[in-house]
A and B are shown apart, each in its own frame.
Chain A
């Protein structure tokens, strides 16, 4: 791409042409494309090495690796939804609660448990139908996400507050429908997707991988994905280019709700039961995993690769700590400490990378020379007429 500009006309202004050697440019391009995830990948490798010594030989065993993948599944799906929202420069605090509600309602619907319906007494719904119960749970989750999006885009409620309210509402809703009790049993499809294993690979990990792949394609290859990045980077600018940002925001929260619903069902399949108080297990870990991966909280910067790495860091850390001899009461502290270090190192690394990029591009403008003198260095005059 850089070399394409070298064929400009000889007019004096257009004469300022990038002069870069191919190897430097391609190395920089590679760095630029990956600088977001290099730090987290390093952290992941370090953790794996440390735990394979500290946690004994079991850590790298096949069973344990399968376990790590299985542990990653739910967080990965939720993290994917959250990534969409973060790229938009918004925040979603409700996804974990929506997930729990979806899991509870999916199980209640399928198993034919009675659940209260506010003013109309006890009811059952969709008993025995896998499709009906699952689809209804997902529609419910998506609708809740869309409501958060509508509040944010149309009414202008900050997403932090809109989703905080939704978090409380969904927690209460799940508590009410489940009558505060754990709901056992779920649709067989849910159990298969969440709990089964194909060879050494857990099905939940395959499901998560497929979802992440689709999300990656949507974000990097579609117009909608482009609109998400541009809106997250500068909402006003996107609007003034004619992008319907309201639609983008509402859709993204809908996606987050839908993926939360999927994750909630998968969690039920994995654990074998739906727990009305389960949302605390997910909210902060998923946020932490996404941010550790390098997705910016300020919008416009990040990708699914980053989320994937962050999720793996989190899963390895969790699993590895469980297998060490550290006092069990100290483990949550250690987990927090290591995540904190990882985040600080990553942010510092990104800042250094950004500064290097600034310097590199500043030098682009001055390295530019008129085409006839290609190769010769006449940098000083370059800035003159600009």
Chain B
């Protein structure tokens, strides 16, 4: 049996704890690692029934603060108050018992098991598994919180958005009163996002307090009641969301008025007309069903082409085809004038194409040093059969400086760098020794903070200025609007719009893609 009753939630009663008083209050939280202080006396609270946005750049202390709240880390100073009483959560289990749940970006469900098994896993049905009983209770619970899901469905067969809801449901089922959502929308498509927020809003209406940790300002502006911004481990401020603008938030996060950064958050962009420069890559009628149906586009010298679409529209799969990962069943890719089949990544590389995959872990050998990861794609050009380690280290050090890769030394294992810096190492891989003719980047800014995004934009722009044709595959309108010279919109595996020489807005893109 569930050890912890879940009063407001599963009973479906009217909101009881939705008064103004906070359920959880963090006061003057400090946190030090070794001698480095990452949190400086931060105040934060969550009220019953509210959605509270938490913003801040990478390293601002958001995740550390949430870990302190959940019991995954112990604060070095300050106090946590639950319903007005000071408490301590020595372990994450204590946080969960007190009703605080965190839904991380990487979901912690068991993909091979069913919805019902995942929901009841922790409380179980006693020593023996009683399938009927389990299914019945799961159904009841899902019905109560208004999720329409088959309890016998296996998790891996569900779309990511529904998996997320299962995870939230599991937290609520085990009695959570405060749910922290860590970047909940980064993996969601445009259709799934409103569904998630409608669900969150419903649950908030029943008295659950939500914390929304995210880089996506829209989510906070559109869906939160209050918003807190952290910077460099300090509290910048907490405001009513209705009283702040997007510009206010950007300024608070960045901490200074930075023309580039605010410009990169423009909601519209005037695309230049196509240049007369030669076409470097032309895709004609590419098809690899079911994901890719019929896609044609081209990128010219010095041009930044954005392949935009909601997640699952085929733009990621078509990018794979450009680099010889899999072969299209229809259509062709022509590089300059050569339309020979790109049989595999080695061929693609040798013909001047570079590729940065969706998942960084697919691109880097994490336990190997920065150097060897950087030089891997150009090893055959830098060396003959014999390696020249000194030369490699020099090149790597040069790249570390050029791309400003914080915390990197050539000999350090690349897995010890932060995500944004790992991305830079991947970027450097295609710059070492030789500039690529065409560089394909898949979701290069996903999950990044504003400063890291700006760094990626700079690298892309610089490379395009040198003449490389850059193809940026992205489902983030901000990124697309910030850097694209030309935007190709994909929908259900087909190109539905090819925009150049016009002014585009976020609304226009959403309209085309949806």
Contacts of A364 in B (CB 8 A): 407, 409, 412
Are A300 and B345 in touch, CB under 8 angstroms? no
Contacting residues, chain A, for B393 (C-beta < 8 A): 1, 4
Least CB separation from A18: chain B residue: B409
Q: Which of B60, B349, B364, B397 contacts A5 (CB under 8 A)? A: B397
- Which B residues lie within 8 Å of A363 (CB)? 34
Q: Once the chains bind, are A239 and B37 in contact (CB under 8 Å)?
A: no
Q: Which of A1, A225, A239 contacts B345 (CB 8 A)?
A: A239
The residues of A that contact B344 with a CB separation of less than 8 Å are 244
Contact in complex: A223, B379 (CB < 8 Å): yes
Name the residue on B nearest A231 (C-beta): B365
Residues of B within 8 A of A234 (CB): 361-362, 364-366
Contact B38 A221 (CB under 8 A): no
Q: How far is the CB of A363 from chain B (nearest CB, A)?
A: 6
Q: When the two chains form the complex, which single residue of A14, A379, A384 contacts B404, counting CB atoms closer than 8 Å?
A: A14
Chain B 313-368 interface residues, beta-carbon cutoff 8 Å to A: 323, 325, 344-346, 348-350, 355, 357, 361-368
Q: Does B185 contact A (CB under 8 A)?
A: no
What is the number of contacts between chain A and chain B, taking CB atoms within 8 Å? 151
Q: Is B59 an interface residue (CB 8 A)?
A: yes
Please indicate the chain B residues that have their CB under 8 angstroms from the CB of A223 in the complex: 379-380, 383-387
Chain A CB within 8 A of B232 CB: yes
* A 123-177 contacts with B by CB, 8 A: none
Report the separation of the CA atoms of residues A386 and B377 in the bound assembly, to the nearest whole angstrom.
Answer: 26
Contact flags (1/0) for A270-288 with B, using CB distance below 8 Å?
0000000000000000000
Across the interface, do B365 and A379 meet the contact criterion of CB distance under 8 Å? no
Contact A233 B33, beta carbon cutoff 8 Å: no
CA distance A223 to B379 in the complex (A): 7
B53 within 8 A of A: no
Question: Is B496 positioned at the interface, with any CB of A under 8 Å from its CB?
Answer: no
B418 / chain A contacts, CB cutoff of 8 Å: 365, 386
Query: What is the minimal beta-carbon distance from B354 to any residue of chain A, in angstroms?
Result: 9
Kindly state whether residue B376 has any CB partner on chain A within 8 Å: yes
Chain B CB within 8 A of A230 CB: yes
- Chain B nearest Cβ from A359, distance in angstroms: 8
Asked if B406 and A386 sit within 8 Å, CB to CB, the answer is yes
Partner of A1, one of B36, B57, B58, B397: B397
Give the complex CA separation of A233 and B60 in angstroms: 32
Contact with A along B370-383 (1 / 0, CB 8 A): 00110011011001
**Residue from B233, B349, B380, B416 having most chain A Cβ neighbours under 10 A:** B416
Chain B interface size range: 35 or more
Pick from B231, B362, B407, B418 the residue with the most CB of A within 10 Å: B407
A382: which B residues are within 8 A, CB to CB? 36
Q: Is the CB of A386 within 8 A of B59?
A: yes
Q: Which residues of A contact B386 (CB under 8 A)?
A: 221-223
CA distance A236 to B376 in the complex (A): 13
Known contacts: A239-B345, A368-B407. The answer to whether A229 contacts B372 by CB under 8 A is: yes
Answer whether residue B411 sits at the interface, using C-beta atoms and an 8 A cutoff. Answer: yes
User: Once the chains are docked, how many angstroms separate the CA of A48 from the CA of B420?
Assistant: 50
B293 at the interface (CB under 8 A from A): no
* Contact A237:B363 (CB < 8 A) given known A9-B401, A386-B421: yes
With A230-B365, A362-B416, A386-B58 as contacts: A1 and B409 at CB distance below 8 Å: yes
How far, in whole Å, are A381 and B232 apart by their CA atoms in the complex?
7
Quick check: is A366 within 8 A (CB to CB) of the other chain? Answer: yes
CA distance A227 to B387 in the complex (A): 11
Question: Which residues on the A side are within 8 Å of B407 (C-beta)?
Answer: 16, 364-365, 368, 386
Q: In the complex, how many angstroms separate the beta carbon of B300 from the nearest chain A beta carbon? A: 24
Bound: A244/B350 CA distance, A:
12
A229: B residues at CB distance < 8 A: 365, 368, 372
Neighbouring B residues of A300 by C-beta, 8 Å: 365, 367-368
Tell me the smallest distance from the CB of B455 to a CB of chain A, in Å: 8
Give 28 A-B contacts (CB < 8 Å), ordered by A residue.
Answer: A1-B409, A4-B394, A13-B406, A14-B401, A29-B411, A221-B386, A222-B386, A223-B383, A223-B384, A225-B387, A226-B387, A227-B379, A234-B361, A234-B364, A237-B364, A241-B429, A242-B349, A301-B367, A358-B416, A361-B416, A362-B416, A363-B34, A365-B406, A368-B406, A380-B36, A380-B38, A383-B36, A384-B232
A-B CB proximity, top 8 nearest: A242-B349, A233-B365, A365-B407, A383-B59, A13-B404, A241-B376, A241-B377, A234-B365
